[in-house]
Structure 1
Amino acid sequence: MKNTVITSLFLSLGISISAMAFHANSSDTDKNTAGSSFAVVELFTSEGCSSCPPADKLLAKIQEENAGKPVYILAFHVDYWNHQGWRDVFSDKDFTKRQYQYASWLNLETVYTPQAVVNGKHELIGSQEEALKRALNIELRAPAPAQLSAEAQIEGSKLKLAYQATNARGTVLQVALVQKVAHTMVKRGENAGRLLPHVQIVRHVQGFAAGASGNVAVNLPEGFNPNGWEVITFLQNTQTGAIVAADRPQVGADSRPLTAHRRP
Protein backbone atom coordinates (compact mmCIF):
# COMPACT_ATOMS: atom_id res chain seq x y z
CA MET A 1 0.00 0.00 0.00
CA LYS A 2 1.55 3.26 -1.07
CA ASN A 3 2.09 5.98 1.49
CA THR A 4 3.16 9.36 0.07
CA VAL A 5 5.80 11.12 2.09
CA ILE A 6 6.58 14.81 1.64
CA THR A 7 9.86 15.37 3.42
CA SER A 8 13.07 13.96 1.94
CA LEU A 9 15.64 12.83 4.46
CA PHE A 10 19.20 11.83 3.71
CA LEU A 11 21.69 9.56 5.43
CA SER A 12 25.18 10.87 5.92
CA LEU A 13 27.43 8.21 4.46
CA GLY A 14 31.09 7.52 4.06
CA ILE A 15 34.16 8.91 2.36
CA SER A 16 36.27 7.74 -0.56
CA ILE A 17 38.52 4.76 0.08
CA SER A 18 41.56 3.23 -1.57
CA ALA A 19 41.74 -0.40 -2.64
CA MET A 20 44.13 -3.21 -1.79
CA ALA A 21 44.22 -6.96 -2.45
CA PHE A 22 43.14 -9.37 0.23
CA HIS A 23 42.71 -13.07 0.83
CA ALA A 24 39.06 -14.18 1.07
CA ASN A 25 37.99 -17.12 3.19
CA SER A 26 37.15 -19.74 0.57
CA SER A 27 35.53 -22.11 3.07
CA ASP A 28 32.35 -20.03 3.28
CA THR A 29 29.98 -20.62 0.36
CA ASP A 30 28.61 -17.07 0.32
CA LYS A 31 31.87 -15.12 0.51
CA ASN A 32 32.07 -12.28 -2.01
CA THR A 33 35.35 -13.35 -3.66
CA ALA A 34 37.06 -12.21 -6.84
CA GLY A 35 34.63 -12.12 -9.75
CA SER A 36 31.76 -13.62 -7.73
CA SER A 37 28.20 -12.37 -7.93
CA PHE A 38 25.83 -11.58 -5.08
CA ALA A 39 22.49 -9.97 -4.28
CA VAL A 40 21.40 -7.88 -1.30
CA VAL A 41 17.61 -7.81 -1.04
CA GLU A 42 16.12 -5.05 1.13
CA LEU A 43 12.43 -5.02 1.98
CA PHE A 44 10.80 -1.95 3.53
CA THR A 45 7.78 -3.25 5.39
CA SER A 46 5.48 -2.61 8.36
CA GLU A 47 3.19 -4.60 10.64
CA GLY A 48 0.70 -1.76 10.26
CA CYS A 49 0.33 -2.16 6.49
CA SER A 50 -2.23 -4.67 5.18
CA SER A 51 -0.30 -5.05 1.90
CA CYS A 52 2.91 -6.10 3.64
CA PRO A 53 2.25 -9.69 4.84
CA PRO A 54 2.41 -11.12 1.27
CA ALA A 55 5.78 -9.40 0.80
CA ASP A 56 7.05 -10.76 4.13
CA LYS A 57 5.94 -14.22 3.02
CA LEU A 58 7.71 -13.83 -0.32
CA LEU A 59 10.88 -12.77 1.49
CA ALA A 60 10.83 -16.03 3.45
CA LYS A 61 10.33 -17.97 0.21
CA ILE A 62 13.25 -16.21 -1.47
CA GLN A 63 15.42 -16.97 1.53
CA GLU A 64 14.53 -20.66 1.45
CA GLU A 65 15.02 -20.98 -2.31
CA ASN A 66 18.44 -19.33 -2.15
CA ALA A 67 19.86 -21.10 0.89
CA GLY A 68 23.61 -21.45 0.53
CA LYS A 69 23.81 -18.83 -2.20
CA PRO A 70 25.30 -15.32 -1.89
CA VAL A 71 21.86 -13.77 -1.33
CA TYR A 72 21.66 -11.43 1.67
CA ILE A 73 18.16 -10.56 2.91
CA LEU A 74 17.32 -7.53 5.04
CA ALA A 75 13.84 -6.57 6.26
CA PHE A 76 13.64 -2.94 7.38
CA HIS A 77 10.49 -2.12 9.38
CA VAL A 78 9.65 1.56 8.84
CA ASP A 79 7.87 3.74 11.40
CA TYR A 80 5.43 5.89 9.37
CA TRP A 81 2.60 3.38 9.76
CA ASN A 82 2.78 3.51 13.55
CA HIS A 83 0.16 6.27 13.82
CA GLN A 84 -2.48 4.01 12.22
CA GLY A 85 -3.34 2.21 15.44
CA TRP A 86 -0.47 -0.26 15.78
CA ARG A 87 3.17 0.40 16.58
CA ASP A 88 5.42 -2.05 14.74
CA VAL A 89 7.65 -3.48 17.46
CA PHE A 90 10.57 -3.69 15.02
CA SER A 91 10.16 -0.25 13.45
CA ASP A 92 12.89 2.37 13.59
CA LYS A 93 13.06 5.92 12.28
CA ASP A 94 16.53 5.22 10.91
CA PHE A 95 15.06 2.57 8.61
CA THR A 96 12.58 5.13 7.32
CA LYS A 97 15.48 7.51 6.67
CA ARG A 98 17.21 4.76 4.71
CA GLN A 99 14.13 4.33 2.53
CA TYR A 100 14.00 8.08 1.90
CA GLN A 101 17.65 7.95 0.87
CA TYR A 102 16.75 5.36 -1.75
CA ALA A 103 14.02 7.67 -3.04
CA SER A 104 16.76 10.24 -3.63
CA TRP A 105 19.26 7.81 -5.13
CA LEU A 106 16.69 6.23 -7.47
CA ASN A 107 14.86 9.48 -8.33
CA LEU A 108 11.53 8.30 -6.92
CA GLU A 109 8.70 10.69 -6.13
CA THR A 110 7.56 8.77 -3.05
CA VAL A 111 8.26 5.84 -0.75
CA TYR A 112 5.77 3.10 0.03
CA THR A 113 5.33 -0.30 1.63
CA PRO A 114 6.05 -2.98 0.72
CA GLN A 115 9.02 -1.77 -1.32
CA ALA A 116 12.01 -3.92 -2.28
CA VAL A 117 15.44 -2.83 -3.50
CA VAL A 118 18.03 -5.25 -4.89
CA ASN A 119 21.72 -4.29 -4.71
CA GLY A 120 20.67 -0.66 -4.35
CA LYS A 121 19.76 -0.54 -8.05
CA HIS A 122 16.48 -2.38 -8.75
CA GLU A 123 13.32 -0.99 -7.10
CA LEU A 124 9.98 -2.84 -7.12
CA ILE A 125 6.83 -3.64 -5.18
CA GLY A 126 7.94 -6.11 -2.53
CA SER A 127 5.19 -8.64 -3.16
CA GLN A 128 5.88 -8.99 -6.91
CA GLU A 129 7.60 -12.37 -7.08
CA GLU A 130 8.38 -12.39 -10.79
CA ALA A 131 9.95 -8.92 -10.71
CA LEU A 132 12.00 -9.75 -7.62
CA LYS A 133 13.32 -12.98 -9.10
CA ARG A 134 14.17 -11.19 -12.33
CA ALA A 135 16.26 -8.64 -10.42
CA LEU A 136 17.94 -11.44 -8.47
CA ASN A 137 18.83 -13.30 -11.66
CA ILE A 138 20.36 -10.17 -13.16
CA GLU A 139 22.55 -9.53 -10.13
CA LEU A 140 23.53 -13.17 -9.57
CA ARG A 141 24.83 -13.35 -13.14
CA ALA A 142 26.86 -10.14 -12.93
CA PRO A 143 30.44 -10.14 -11.62
CA ALA A 144 30.90 -8.32 -8.34
CA PRO A 145 32.53 -4.90 -8.89
CA ALA A 146 34.29 -5.03 -5.50
CA GLN A 147 35.26 -7.47 -2.79
CA LEU A 148 34.60 -7.63 0.95
CA SER A 149 35.69 -10.08 3.61
CA ALA A 150 34.87 -9.68 7.30
CA GLU A 151 35.35 -11.46 10.60
CA ALA A 152 33.17 -10.75 13.65
CA GLN A 153 33.68 -11.37 17.33
CA ILE A 154 31.47 -10.68 20.33
CA GLU A 155 33.32 -8.99 23.17
CA GLY A 156 31.03 -8.15 26.06
CA SER A 157 28.29 -5.85 24.82
CA LYS A 158 29.98 -5.09 21.50
CA LEU A 159 30.40 -6.74 18.14
CA LYS A 160 33.91 -6.12 16.90
CA LEU A 161 34.45 -6.56 13.19
CA ALA A 162 37.66 -6.70 11.15
CA TYR A 163 37.31 -6.32 7.39
CA GLN A 164 39.27 -6.09 4.16
CA ALA A 165 38.01 -4.60 0.91
CA THR A 166 39.12 -4.01 -2.65
CA ASN A 167 37.85 -1.78 -5.49
CA ALA A 168 35.54 0.05 -3.12
CA ARG A 169 36.41 3.70 -3.65
CA GLY A 170 33.55 6.00 -2.72
CA THR A 171 31.70 3.51 -0.54
CA VAL A 172 30.65 3.19 3.08
CA LEU A 173 30.78 -0.02 5.09
CA GLN A 174 27.32 -0.91 6.39
CA VAL A 175 26.97 -3.39 9.28
CA ALA A 176 23.48 -4.84 9.83
CA LEU A 177 22.49 -6.90 12.88
CA VAL A 178 19.67 -9.19 11.84
CA GLN A 179 17.21 -11.27 13.86
CA LYS A 180 16.45 -14.34 11.77
CA VAL A 181 12.86 -15.13 12.84
CA ALA A 182 10.05 -13.58 14.89
CA HIS A 183 6.25 -13.65 15.18
CA THR A 184 3.94 -10.85 16.26
CA MET A 185 0.25 -11.02 17.19
CA VAL A 186 -1.11 -7.70 15.92
CA LYS A 187 -3.94 -6.37 18.07
CA ARG A 188 -4.89 -3.17 16.27
CA GLY A 189 -4.65 -1.43 12.93
CA GLU A 190 -5.01 -2.87 9.43
CA ASN A 191 -3.64 -6.29 10.43
CA ALA A 192 -5.60 -6.60 13.70
CA GLY A 193 -6.06 -10.20 14.79
CA ARG A 194 -3.30 -11.59 12.57
CA LEU A 195 -0.23 -13.50 13.68
CA LEU A 196 2.51 -12.13 11.44
CA PRO A 197 5.69 -14.14 10.80
CA HIS A 198 8.88 -12.26 10.00
CA VAL A 199 12.33 -13.26 8.73
CA GLN A 200 15.64 -11.41 8.52
CA ILE A 201 14.54 -8.47 10.65
CA VAL A 202 17.13 -5.71 10.78
CA ARG A 203 17.43 -4.60 14.40
CA HIS A 204 20.31 -2.20 13.88
CA VAL A 205 22.37 -0.92 10.96
CA GLN A 206 25.39 1.32 11.20
CA GLY A 207 27.62 2.86 8.56
CA PHE A 208 31.35 3.47 8.86
CA ALA A 209 33.81 5.42 6.76
CA ALA A 210 35.44 2.59 4.85
CA GLY A 211 39.04 1.84 4.01
CA ALA A 212 40.93 -0.96 2.33
CA SER A 213 40.98 -2.65 5.74
CA GLY A 214 39.91 -1.72 9.21
CA ASN A 215 38.28 -2.53 12.52
CA VAL A 216 34.90 -1.26 13.72
CA ALA A 217 32.67 -1.89 16.74
CA VAL A 218 28.89 -1.94 17.10
CA ASN A 219 26.85 -1.95 20.31
CA LEU A 220 24.80 -5.14 20.49
CA PRO A 221 21.01 -4.87 20.93
CA GLU A 222 19.64 -6.58 24.01
CA GLY A 223 19.00 -10.23 23.26
CA PHE A 224 21.56 -10.62 20.48
CA ASN A 225 22.47 -14.30 20.16
CA PRO A 226 24.69 -15.75 17.44
CA ASN A 227 22.32 -18.72 17.12
CA GLY A 228 19.24 -16.62 16.37
CA TRP A 229 20.81 -13.58 14.74
CA GLU A 230 23.34 -12.92 12.03
CA VAL A 231 25.58 -10.14 10.78
CA ILE A 232 25.45 -8.90 7.19
CA THR A 233 28.04 -6.42 5.95
CA PHE A 234 28.09 -4.61 2.63
CA LEU A 235 29.79 -1.79 0.78
CA GLN A 236 27.48 0.89 -0.63
CA ASN A 237 28.32 3.69 -3.03
CA THR A 238 27.57 7.01 -1.35
CA GLN A 239 26.61 8.77 -4.58
CA THR A 240 24.40 6.19 -6.32
CA GLY A 241 23.33 3.78 -3.57
CA ALA A 242 24.65 0.79 -5.55
CA ILE A 243 25.84 -2.05 -3.33
CA VAL A 244 29.15 -3.31 -4.69
CA ALA A 245 30.09 -6.13 -2.30
CA ALA A 246 28.62 -8.07 0.62
CA ASP A 247 29.63 -10.66 3.17
CA ARG A 248 28.04 -12.66 5.99
CA PRO A 249 30.76 -13.14 8.62
CA GLN A 250 30.50 -15.94 11.12
CA VAL A 251 30.25 -14.59 14.65
CA GLY A 252 32.57 -15.75 17.37
CA ALA A 253 31.68 -15.18 21.02
CA ASP A 254 33.41 -14.61 24.32
CA SER A 255 32.58 -16.68 27.38
CA ARG A 256 30.19 -14.22 28.99
CA PRO A 257 26.42 -14.92 28.78
CA LEU A 258 24.15 -12.63 26.79
CA THR A 259 21.17 -10.85 28.34
CA ALA A 260 17.81 -12.55 27.82
CA HIS A 261 15.74 -10.98 25.06
CA ARG A 262 12.83 -8.72 25.91
CA ARG A 263 10.78 -7.37 23.05
CA PRO A 264 10.59 -3.57 22.82
Structure 2
Amino acid sequence: MILKNLIGTAAFVAIMFTVSAFSCTDKTEEIHQNLTSNNQGFAVLELFTSEGCSSCPPADQLMGDIEKQYQGQPVYILAYHVDYWNNLGWKDKFSNIENSKRQQQYAQILRSQVYTPQLIVNGKKEFVGSDRNAVENAIQTAFLNSNNAKIDLSAKVSEKEINVNFKTDENNSSNKLLITLIEKKSSTNVQRGENEGRHLIHWQIVHQQNQISLKNSSEGATRFKLPENFNPANWEIIGMIQNVKTGEILGSTKSSF
Protein backbone atom coordinates (compact mmCIF):
# COMPACT_ATOMS: atom_id res chain seq x y z
CA MET A 1 0.00 0.00 0.00
CA ILE A 2 2.83 2.36 0.90
CA LEU A 3 4.68 1.40 -2.31
CA LYS A 4 1.52 2.07 -4.33
CA ASN A 5 1.15 5.49 -2.73
CA LEU A 6 4.79 6.30 -3.43
CA ILE A 7 4.38 5.32 -7.08
CA GLY A 8 1.25 7.43 -7.28
CA THR A 9 3.04 10.40 -5.72
CA ALA A 10 6.00 10.02 -8.05
CA ALA A 11 3.72 9.88 -11.06
CA PHE A 12 1.89 12.98 -9.90
CA VAL A 13 5.19 14.87 -9.41
CA ALA A 14 6.35 13.79 -12.88
CA ILE A 15 3.13 15.01 -14.46
CA MET A 16 3.32 18.34 -12.65
CA PHE A 17 6.97 18.75 -13.70
CA THR A 18 6.06 18.09 -17.32
CA VAL A 19 3.16 20.55 -17.18
CA SER A 20 5.42 23.13 -15.56
CA ALA A 21 8.06 22.61 -18.24
CA PHE A 22 5.56 23.11 -21.04
CA SER A 23 4.19 26.18 -19.27
CA CYS A 24 7.67 27.61 -18.94
CA THR A 25 8.39 26.96 -22.63
CA ASP A 26 5.13 28.61 -23.65
CA LYS A 27 5.93 31.60 -21.44
CA THR A 28 9.40 31.93 -22.99
CA GLU A 29 7.92 31.86 -26.49
CA GLU A 30 5.33 34.45 -25.43
CA ILE A 31 8.05 36.75 -24.09
CA HIS A 32 10.03 36.33 -27.32
CA GLN A 33 6.97 37.19 -29.40
CA ASN A 34 6.29 40.27 -27.29
CA LEU A 35 9.87 41.46 -27.68
CA THR A 36 9.71 41.24 -31.46
CA SER A 37 6.17 42.53 -31.91
CA ASN A 38 5.70 45.22 -29.27
CA ASN A 39 9.16 46.77 -29.10
CA GLN A 40 9.90 49.71 -31.42
CA GLY A 41 13.41 48.49 -32.18
CA PHE A 42 14.80 47.46 -35.55
CA ALA A 43 17.83 45.72 -37.07
CA VAL A 44 19.72 46.75 -40.20
CA LEU A 45 22.01 43.98 -41.45
CA GLU A 46 24.69 45.11 -43.92
CA LEU A 47 26.60 42.21 -45.46
CA PHE A 48 29.82 42.76 -47.40
CA THR A 49 30.27 39.83 -49.76
CA SER A 50 31.69 38.71 -53.11
CA GLU A 51 31.16 35.97 -55.67
CA GLY A 52 34.94 35.56 -55.76
CA CYS A 53 35.13 34.57 -52.07
CA SER A 54 34.65 30.89 -51.20
CA SER A 55 33.66 31.79 -47.61
CA CYS A 56 30.79 34.03 -48.73
CA PRO A 57 28.07 31.64 -50.02
CA PRO A 58 27.11 30.48 -46.48
CA ALA A 59 26.67 34.13 -45.44
CA ASP A 60 24.59 34.85 -48.54
CA GLN A 61 22.39 31.85 -47.77
CA LEU A 62 22.02 32.94 -44.15
CA MET A 63 20.72 36.33 -45.31
CA GLY A 64 18.10 34.50 -47.35
CA ASP A 65 17.12 32.47 -44.30
CA ILE A 66 16.93 35.57 -42.08
CA GLU A 67 14.85 37.43 -44.66
CA LYS A 68 12.33 34.59 -44.66
CA GLN A 69 12.40 34.02 -40.89
CA TYR A 70 11.80 37.68 -40.01
CA GLN A 71 9.38 38.49 -42.79
CA GLY A 72 7.03 41.25 -41.67
CA GLN A 73 9.34 42.29 -38.81
CA PRO A 74 11.67 45.34 -38.72
CA VAL A 75 14.75 43.55 -40.08
CA TYR A 76 16.35 45.23 -43.11
CA ILE A 77 19.03 43.38 -45.09
CA LEU A 78 21.45 44.97 -47.56
CA ALA A 79 24.08 42.86 -49.34
CA TYR A 80 26.96 44.95 -50.70
CA HIS A 81 29.07 43.12 -53.30
CA VAL A 82 32.60 44.54 -53.05
CA ASP A 83 34.99 44.89 -55.99
CA TYR A 84 38.38 44.05 -54.47
CA TRP A 85 37.97 40.33 -55.28
CA ASN A 86 37.46 41.03 -58.99
CA ASN A 87 41.13 40.68 -59.95
CA LEU A 88 41.46 37.28 -58.28
CA GLY A 89 39.87 35.09 -60.93
CA TRP A 90 36.23 36.16 -61.19
CA LYS A 91 34.48 39.51 -61.65
CA ASP A 92 31.33 39.82 -59.57
CA LYS A 93 28.66 41.41 -61.79
CA PHE A 94 26.95 42.91 -58.73
CA SER A 95 30.09 44.56 -57.34
CA ASN A 96 31.11 48.20 -57.46
CA ILE A 97 33.69 50.46 -55.87
CA GLU A 98 31.11 52.39 -53.84
CA ASN A 99 30.29 49.23 -51.87
CA SER A 100 33.98 48.74 -51.10
CA LYS A 101 34.29 52.37 -49.99
CA ARG A 102 31.37 51.95 -47.61
CA GLN A 103 33.05 48.97 -46.00
CA GLN A 104 36.30 50.92 -45.66
CA GLN A 105 34.42 53.75 -43.94
CA TYR A 106 33.05 51.25 -41.44
CA ALA A 107 36.55 49.89 -40.88
CA GLN A 108 37.71 53.36 -39.85
CA ILE A 109 34.72 54.03 -37.58
CA LEU A 110 34.61 50.58 -35.94
CA ARG A 111 38.39 50.06 -36.06
CA SER A 112 37.84 46.73 -37.75
CA GLN A 113 39.53 44.86 -40.58
CA VAL A 114 38.20 44.75 -44.14
CA TYR A 115 37.18 41.20 -45.02
CA THR A 116 34.41 39.10 -46.51
CA PRO A 117 31.91 37.99 -45.44
CA GLN A 118 31.57 40.81 -42.92
CA LEU A 119 28.22 41.73 -41.32
CA ILE A 120 27.51 45.03 -39.60
CA VAL A 121 24.35 45.49 -37.51
CA ASN A 122 22.83 48.95 -37.03
CA GLY A 123 26.20 50.46 -37.90
CA LYS A 124 27.59 49.53 -34.48
CA LYS A 125 28.57 45.86 -34.29
CA GLU A 126 30.54 43.74 -36.76
CA PHE A 127 31.34 40.03 -37.05
CA VAL A 128 31.66 37.21 -39.58
CA GLY A 129 28.51 37.19 -41.69
CA SER A 130 28.04 33.42 -41.70
CA ASP A 131 27.83 33.14 -37.90
CA ARG A 132 24.13 32.28 -37.43
CA ASN A 133 24.15 32.49 -33.62
CA ALA A 134 25.85 35.88 -33.68
CA VAL A 135 23.30 37.16 -36.21
CA GLU A 136 20.32 35.93 -34.17
CA ASN A 137 21.71 37.41 -30.95
CA ALA A 138 22.53 40.71 -32.64
CA ILE A 139 18.99 41.02 -34.04
CA GLN A 140 17.37 40.41 -30.65
CA THR A 141 19.79 42.86 -28.99
CA ALA A 142 18.99 45.45 -31.65
CA PHE A 143 15.25 45.01 -31.10
CA LEU A 144 15.71 45.77 -27.40
CA ASN A 145 18.24 48.59 -27.67
CA SER A 146 17.07 50.76 -30.54
CA ASN A 147 14.18 53.10 -31.28
CA ASN A 148 13.25 53.32 -34.95
CA ALA A 149 13.26 56.91 -36.22
CA LYS A 150 10.31 57.54 -38.51
CA ILE A 151 10.89 57.60 -42.28
CA ASP A 152 8.14 57.81 -44.89
CA LEU A 153 8.99 56.45 -48.36
CA SER A 154 7.01 56.05 -51.56
CA ALA A 155 8.40 54.77 -54.86
CA LYS A 156 7.03 55.08 -58.38
CA VAL A 157 8.36 53.67 -61.64
CA SER A 158 8.42 55.67 -64.88
CA GLU A 159 9.67 54.69 -68.31
CA LYS A 160 13.37 55.26 -67.60
CA GLU A 161 13.73 55.82 -63.86
CA ILE A 162 12.51 55.18 -60.34
CA ASN A 163 11.36 58.17 -58.31
CA VAL A 164 11.37 57.98 -54.51
CA ASN A 165 9.73 60.56 -52.26
CA PHE A 166 10.90 60.75 -48.64
CA LYS A 167 9.98 62.53 -45.44
CA THR A 168 11.40 62.29 -41.92
CA ASP A 169 11.37 64.24 -38.67
CA GLU A 170 15.16 63.99 -38.37
CA ASN A 171 17.07 67.19 -39.25
CA ASN A 172 20.39 66.76 -37.44
CA SER A 173 23.23 67.97 -39.69
CA SER A 174 25.32 64.97 -38.58
CA ASN A 175 22.77 62.56 -40.06
CA LYS A 176 22.26 61.40 -43.62
CA LEU A 177 19.36 59.61 -45.23
CA LEU A 178 20.52 56.67 -47.32
CA ILE A 179 18.02 55.42 -49.88
CA THR A 180 18.96 52.14 -51.54
CA LEU A 181 17.65 50.24 -54.53
CA ILE A 182 17.57 46.54 -53.65
CA GLU A 183 17.15 43.45 -55.82
CA LYS A 184 15.53 40.84 -53.60
CA LYS A 185 17.03 37.72 -55.21
CA SER A 186 19.30 36.75 -58.10
CA SER A 187 21.85 34.09 -59.02
CA THR A 188 25.05 33.48 -60.98
CA ASN A 189 26.83 30.48 -62.48
CA VAL A 190 30.44 31.17 -61.51
CA GLN A 191 32.95 30.03 -64.14
CA ARG A 192 36.29 30.92 -62.54
CA GLY A 193 37.91 31.79 -59.23
CA GLU A 194 37.39 30.25 -55.79
CA ASN A 195 33.74 29.42 -56.51
CA GLU A 196 34.31 27.97 -59.98
CA GLY A 197 31.49 25.66 -61.07
CA ARG A 198 29.08 26.78 -58.35
CA HIS A 199 25.59 28.18 -58.82
CA LEU A 200 25.39 31.02 -56.31
CA ILE A 201 22.14 32.54 -55.04
CA HIS A 202 22.09 36.03 -53.57
CA TRP A 203 19.51 37.94 -51.53
CA GLN A 204 18.90 41.67 -50.94
CA ILE A 205 21.51 42.90 -53.42
CA VAL A 206 22.47 46.58 -53.28
CA HIS A 207 22.41 48.09 -56.78
CA GLN A 208 22.37 51.83 -56.16
CA GLN A 209 22.53 53.92 -53.00
CA ASN A 210 21.82 57.66 -52.77
CA GLN A 211 23.00 59.63 -49.74
CA ILE A 212 20.96 62.70 -48.84
CA SER A 213 21.96 65.37 -46.34
CA LEU A 214 19.25 66.26 -43.83
CA LYS A 215 20.91 69.56 -42.93
CA ASN A 216 18.67 71.78 -45.04
CA SER A 217 15.60 69.63 -45.64
CA SER A 218 14.00 66.52 -44.20
CA GLU A 219 11.62 66.11 -47.12
CA GLY A 220 12.22 65.66 -50.82
CA ALA A 221 12.80 63.20 -53.64
CA THR A 222 15.57 61.18 -55.23
CA ARG A 223 15.79 58.99 -58.30
CA PHE A 224 17.45 55.87 -59.69
CA LYS A 225 18.13 54.70 -63.21
CA LEU A 226 15.73 51.91 -64.10
CA PRO A 227 17.59 48.55 -64.21
CA GLU A 228 17.37 46.35 -67.30
CA ASN A 229 14.52 43.82 -67.33
CA PHE A 230 13.05 45.50 -64.27
CA ASN A 231 10.27 43.54 -62.53
CA PRO A 232 8.76 45.53 -59.62
CA ALA A 233 7.93 42.32 -57.70
CA ASN A 234 11.63 41.50 -57.30
CA TRP A 235 12.82 44.93 -56.16
CA GLU A 236 12.35 47.22 -53.16
CA ILE A 237 13.60 50.45 -51.65
CA ILE A 238 15.25 50.56 -48.21
CA GLY A 239 15.74 53.88 -46.45
CA MET A 240 17.86 54.43 -43.36
CA ILE A 241 19.12 57.37 -41.31
CA GLN A 242 22.76 57.18 -40.28
CA ASN A 243 25.01 59.36 -38.15
CA VAL A 244 28.04 60.00 -40.35
CA LYS A 245 30.39 60.47 -37.39
CA THR A 246 29.53 57.40 -35.30
CA GLY A 247 28.12 55.14 -38.02
CA GLU A 248 25.06 54.39 -35.90
CA ILE A 249 21.85 53.79 -37.82
CA LEU A 250 18.94 55.57 -36.14
CA GLY A 251 16.04 54.26 -38.16
CA SER A 252 15.07 52.28 -41.23
CA THR A 253 12.09 51.37 -43.37
CA LYS A 254 11.29 49.86 -46.76
CA SER A 255 8.94 50.48 -49.65
CA SER A 256 7.73 48.28 -52.47
CA PHE A 257 6.54 49.47 -55.89
Task: Provide the TM-score with structure 1 as the length reference.
Answer: 0.78
Residue 128 (structure 2) pairs with residue 125 (structure 1): yes
Q: Paired residue for 1:249, among 222, 240, 255?
A: 255
1:136 aligns with 2:139: yes
* Matched-pair contact (CA < 8 Å) for 1:168–1:235: no
Tell me how far apart the structure 1 counterparts of residues 101 and 176 of structure 2 sit (CA, whole Å). Answer: 16
Distance 1:189 1:36, change over 3 A: same
Q: 1:159 aligns to what?
A: 162
Residue 235 of structure 2 corresponds to residue 226 of structure 1:
no
Q: 1:56 maps to what in 2?
A: 60
CA contact (8 A) 2:42 2:148 kept: no
**Taking structure 1 as reference, are residues 105 and 220 closer, same or farther at Cα in structure 2, changes over 3 Å only?**
farther
Counterpart contact for 2:210–2:222, Cα < 8 Å: no
The one-character-per-residue Cα deviations of 1:161-196 (angstroms, maximum 9, x if unpaired) are 222212451211111111111111111110111111
Q: Where do 5+ consecutive residues of structure 1 fail to align?
A: 1-34, 252-264
Q: CA deviation at 1:122?
A: 1.1
Find the partner of 2:98 among 90, 94, 103: 94
- Cα distance in 1 for partners of 2:94, 2:142 equals 28
Q: Is the 8 A contact 2:238 2:253 kept in 1?
A: yes
* Structure 1 residues 2-37: Cα deviation after superposition (integer angstroms, max 9, x where no partner): xxxxxxxxxxxxxxxxxxxxxxxxxxxxxxxxx721
- Runs (4+) of structure 1 exceeding 3 A deviation are none
- Is 1:146–1:168's contact at 8 Å kept on the other side of the alignment? no
Q: Does 1:115 align with 2:118?
A: yes
* Larger CA Rg, structure 1 vs 2: 2
* 1:214 is aligned to 2:220: yes
What is the one-letter code of the residue matched to 1:182? S
Q: Which of 167, 179, 182 is the aligned partner of 1:178?
A: 182
Match of 1:193 in 2: 197
3-state DSSP of counterpart to 1:103: helix
Conservation of the 8 A alpha-carbon contact between 1:204 and 1:221: no
- Are 1:152 and 1:249, in contact at CA under 8 Å, matched by a contact in 2? yes
Task: Give the aligned residue type for 1:50.
Answer: S
- Alignment identity in percent? 43
Instruction: Select 1:236's aligned residue among 238, 242, 245.
Output: 242
Cα offset for 1:116?
A: 0.2
SS at match of 1:59: helix
Greater relative contact order (Cα < 8 A, sep 6+): 1
| Residue of structure 1 equivalent to 2:80 | 76
* Cα distance change of structure 1 residues 213 and 185 upon mapping to structure 2, 3 Å threshold: same
Offset at residue 145 of structure 1 (A): 5.3
Instruction: Identify the structure with the greater helix proportion.
Output: 2
TM-score (norm 2): 0.80
* Stretches of structure 2 lacking an aligned partner (at least 5 in a row): 1-38
Is the 2:148–2:252 contact (alpha carbons within 8 Å) kept by the matching residues of 1?
Answer: no
Query: Which whole-Å CA distance do the structure 1 matches of 2:256 and 2:194 have between them?
Result: 38
Q: Are 1:41 and 1:73, in contact at CA under 8 Å, matched by a contact in 2? A: yes
Assess if the C-alpha contact under 8 Å between 1:75 and 1:199 holds in 2. Answer: yes
Aligned letter for 1:103? Answer: A
For 2:239 and 2:223, locate their aligned partners in 1 and report how far apart those are by CA, in whole Å: 13
* Equivalent pairs, count: 217
Query: Do the aligned residues in 1 keep the contact of 2:235 with 2:256 (CA within 8 Å)?
Result: no
Residue 26 of structure 1 aligns with which residue? none
Amino acid paired to 1:121: K
Q: Deviations over 1:25-59 (max 9, x none)?
A: xxxxxxxxxx7211110100001001001111111
1:218 CA drift (Å):
2.5
